[in-house]
Structure 1
Amino acid sequence: MIAGGGDYPPALARIVTGRGGDIFIAAIEGVGDPSAYGDAPVKVYRLGQLGSLIEELRRRGIADLVMLGGLPRPSFGSLRPELATLRYLPYFAKAFQGGDDHLLSRVVRFFEDQGFRVHGPAEIAPELAMPPGPLGRQSATEHQKNLLQRGFSLIEALSPFDVGQAAILADHRVVAVEAAEGTDAMIARVGDLVARRRLKLTEGDGVLVKAPKAGQDLRVDMPAIGEQTLRNVKAAGLAGIGVRAGQVLVGDRAALGRLADELGLFVEGIA
């Protein structure tokens, strides 16, 4: 596993080792905690050490890769390539000439060209993905489901522009769309509008929608929500979250369902 930051890479490692499988973690320098993987073998790499990483994977006889975890988009000039990586630079110079979808698809293609098989996290551990239906006791109302469907349509329509994977809808209209700031910052922006009375949400109206863009490669860029997402949604005065079932990571489903009940939110997977 090529691991970025967040809770999902350690969670996936625990699932694999809990089944008796073997896993090697290549942790990206500065974005994750190498000590979070227990007894699993971990080695830290900076982005400019791609050549060393490939050599290590081949030395270990590894053919199957999964890439998981948060990673701020670097600039091409910040890579500081080692000698073994220099020959790959022309490829990645072109990869950086586009949005995130373009860059990530080129990363996947690069590893495939090197002979590796790239798998999505939900392919390795389906239990990490959102199932159909609600996680807790509360379900979305028909009005809320209509808002969610409008949100899914919005994300699909915006896909060619490589914008974000989330939106907030309320009162039959779009309130916010995720861009480069990320989902949590978008939710906070709406919460600030509510606090300053620039936006009024009636009880049970505002919803967060999270879904992949059309054509998004879920092997390397699968949307995710977590406990902090739920807390942020509650703080902003929203009623709940709707995500595409099977296409968004949620981690510990039972724990997220309990938190949704505690906060009085719905968290629902929509087919």
Structure 2
Amino acid sequence: MAHFKSIALIAGDGRLPQEIARRLTFKGCPPVIYSFGEHGEDLSKFALELVKLSSLNLAFIVDDMQRKGVHEIIMAGLVPKTLMYHQKLHDEELDKLLRSLHSRDDHNLLANIVLALESKGFNVIGYKDIIPDWLASEGHFAGRLPTREELEDIKYGKKIAKVLLPLSFGQTLVVHKKAIVAVEAMEGTDAMLLRAGSLTRGGIVLKMMRPDQDERYDLPTVGVRTLQNMLDAGLKCLAVEVGRTVIIEPEDFKSFAADSGIAVLGVRH
């Protein structure tokens, strides 16, 4: 007889899935965890069961969750691009889904994977209510106060983001003296920040979501590593979207921002 469980966590890399699993376990609802990340062992102590995945075998995941009696799914963490875009790491069902897409950006791919899961009877739920204290608050909340020039660059960056975000790229921008230094695409935030640092020193980093982006599974994250990469790139001001950006380990984040002289604030569209 199958051992029935209710919640599954499809976990990519990063600290976020571990914190979600820890809090679920504390509430008495340890999840079945399907781990794509390199640090699956860190999740095991918070898992009812840990299933390590080396490929995006959608059919296996669906069959395994149905067999285990999973009803609700949480998706969190960074899924490596090699898994998302390397055909040899896909199963036939995912390849069929990919061929049907009008575009293969992260947003569209994730949305269609969610639709495929929902079509099998699963309920994909969000995690904002599990980690409310990890969400960015409005206004200045870490580090030093921003300068007038930085505030002007943020205002300018928001105008550019408003145009780019509906095209499913440009979630993070670097702006210096009202000029766009770098725009995030497939390489991810960290690589983009280092690229920006090779072009100019100074400016702001702006991270926002497209208005229709699904908050259940696609929230941007920032953490101490983000701040360290900013510091290495000569960037000393970060603006993130209020209530729609996850601050990984916020106390450590705030301490690092204060020690590094980086201004951090929450902004709205």
Which TM-score bucket, shorter chain as reference?
A: 0.7 to 0.9
- TM-aligned CA distance change 1:146 to 1:256, over 3 Å: same
**Which SS does the other structure have where 2:73 is aligned?**
strand
Contact 1:164 1:182 in 2 (8 A): no
Contact 1:127 1:251 in 2 (8 A): no
CA distance in structure 2 between the aligned counterparts of 1:238 and 1:88, rounded to whole angstroms: 39
Contact 1:45 1:53 in 2 (8 A): no
- TM-aligned CA distance change 1:256 to 1:42, over 3 Å: same
**Aligned match of 1:42:** 50
- In the superposition, the TM-score normalised over structure 1's length comes to 0.85
The C-alpha deviation readout for 1:183-236, integer Å capped at 9, x for no partner, is 11121112222xxxxx354xxxx1100111232222222111111110111122
CA distance in structure 2 between the aligned counterparts of 1:170 and 1:88, rounded to whole angstroms: 41
- TM-aligned CA distance change 1:182 to 1:68, over 3 Å: same
- TM-aligned CA distance change 1:49 to 1:178, over 3 Å: closer
The question of 1:190 aligning with 2:199 is answered no
**Aligned match of 2:122:** 116
Contact 2:153 2:175 in 1 (8 A): yes
Kindly state the Cα deviation for residue 104 of structure 1 after the two structures are TM-superposed.
1.3
Kindly state the Cα deviation for residue 116 of structure 1 after the two structures are TM-superposed.
1.2
**Aligned match of 1:230:** 227
Contiguous gaps of at least 5 residues in structure 1: 194-198
CA distance in structure 2 between the aligned counterparts of 1:24 and 1:166, rounded to whole angstroms: 32
**Which SS does the other structure have where 1:135 is aligned?**
strand
**Which SS does the other structure have where 2:246 is aligned?**
coil
Which residues of 2 match residues 43-122 of structure 1 at below 5 A?
43-73=51-81, 74-75=84-85, 77-81=87-91, 86=92, 89-95=95-101, 97-122=103-128
- TM-aligned CA distance change 1:187 to 1:137, over 3 Å: closer
> Which of 126, 133, 153 in structure 2 is aligned with 1:127?
133
**Aligned match of 1:211:** 208
**Which SS does the other structure have where 1:71 is aligned?**
coil
Moved over 4 A (4+): 86-89
- What letter is aligned with 2:175? L
Kindly state the Cα deviation for residue 133 of structure 1 after the two structures are TM-superposed.
2.8
Contact 2:224 2:248 in 1 (8 A): no
**Aligned match of 2:5:** none
Kindly state the Cα deviation for residue 76 of structure 1 after the two structures are TM-superposed.
6.2
- In the superposition, the TM-score normalised over structure 2's length comes to 0.86
> Which of 251, 255, 265 in structure 2 is aligned with 1:254?
251
CA distance in structure 2 between the aligned counterparts of 1:91 and 1:137, rounded to whole angstroms: 44
The C-alpha deviation readout for 1:141-166, integer Å capped at 9, x for no partner, is 34322321322221220123322310
Contact 2:149 2:177 in 1 (8 A): no
Kindly state the Cα deviation for residue 77 of structure 1 after the two structures are TM-superposed.
2.6
CA distance in structure 2 between the aligned counterparts of 1:238 and 1:48, rounded to whole angstroms: 36
CA distance in structure 1 between the aligned counterparts of 2:68 and 2:153, rounded to whole angstroms: 49
**Aligned match of 1:151:** 157
Kindly state the Cα deviation for residue 88 of structure 1 after the two structures are TM-superposed.
6.3
**Which SS does the other structure have where 1:98 is aligned?**
coil
- What letter is aligned with 1:75? Y
**Aligned match of 2:26:** 18
Q: How many residues in Structure 1 have an aligned counterpart in Structure 2?
A: 256
The C-alpha deviation readout for 1:74-98, integer Å capped at 9, x for no partner, is 33632353xxxx5665334314853
Identity %: 27
Kindly state the Cα deviation for residue 44 of structure 1 after the two structures are TM-superposed.
1.3
Contiguous gaps of at least 5 residues in structure 2: 1-8
CA distance in structure 1 between the aligned counterparts of 2:214 and 2:120, rounded to whole angstroms: 19
**Aligned match of 1:3:** 11
**Aligned match of 1:140:** 146
